[in-house]
Amino acid sequence: MPDRFLLFYKPYDVLSQFTDEKSESQRRTLKDYISVPDVYPVGRLDRDSEGLLLLTNNGRIQHQLSDPRFQHPRTYWVQVENIPDDAALDQLRQGVWIQDYRTRPAQVKVLPPPDLPPRNPPIRFRKSIPTAWVELTLTEGKNRQVRRMTAAVGFPTLRLVRVAIAHLHLAELQPGEWRELEPQELQPLLRL
């Protein structure tokens, strides 16, 4: 079977797996969007997160991109409650303690509100509490790491969208859409 590489824009409230055997209620999974057999996500996004997933049937590349030892960057646009100050941003840049673990340093910058499709359902809106957007680039992927990092510095995450994995970007995909990788996108992966 030839190698397959798919980019998928995972919508909010979709599990990063093809089956859901743990829930009695029907939750949306990848099979509701992708009918390509024998591909699996590289890493995962929580149900309440959105954005870029790479799926493949190539186990070597899946391992290279998901194992934290290889430190491949993942970039997220994060809407947080309140406006982060320089001290909080510097803490994220240096790494923060979450539970019993110190995160690796992250690349962090404040963003203007990005042009993203609206989330369904929308985030909670509070008239008296402003929000801000931050871009975080991490080289590891612990469970709920971005949410725990922003909470640790006092700015809880309201919306989380992964926009890049290594050199791959969300680009023109809309929530629920997927496409095959282009040859120029595939070459850097094959060199891993």
Active site residues: 46
pLDDT per position in the chain (192 positions), as tens?
Answer: 788 999 999 999 999 888 877 766 778 899 999 999 899 998 889 999 999 999 999 888 888 787 777 788 999 999 999 999 999 999 999 999 988 889 999 999 999 999 999 998 888 878 888 999 999 999 887 778 999 999 999 999 999 999 999 899 998 899 999 999 988 888 887 776
Percent of the chain as helix, strand, coil, to the nearest 5: 20, 30, 50
pTM, rounded to two decimals: 0.92
Domain ranges of the chain: 1-70+167-192, 73-165
- CATH topology classification for 73-165: Alpha-Beta Plaits (3.30.70)
Structure letter (DSSP) for residue 28: B
- CATH topology classification for 1-70+167-192: Alpha-Beta Plaits (3.30.70)
Same fold, 1-70+167-192 and 73-165: yes
Please say whether the beta carbons of 133 and 83 come within 8 A.
Answer: no
Spell out where the chain has E strands. 5-10, 40-41, 50-56, 74-81, 97-98, 101-102, 107-111, 131-138, 157-165, 168-169, 178-180
Distance CA 41, CA 8 (A): 9
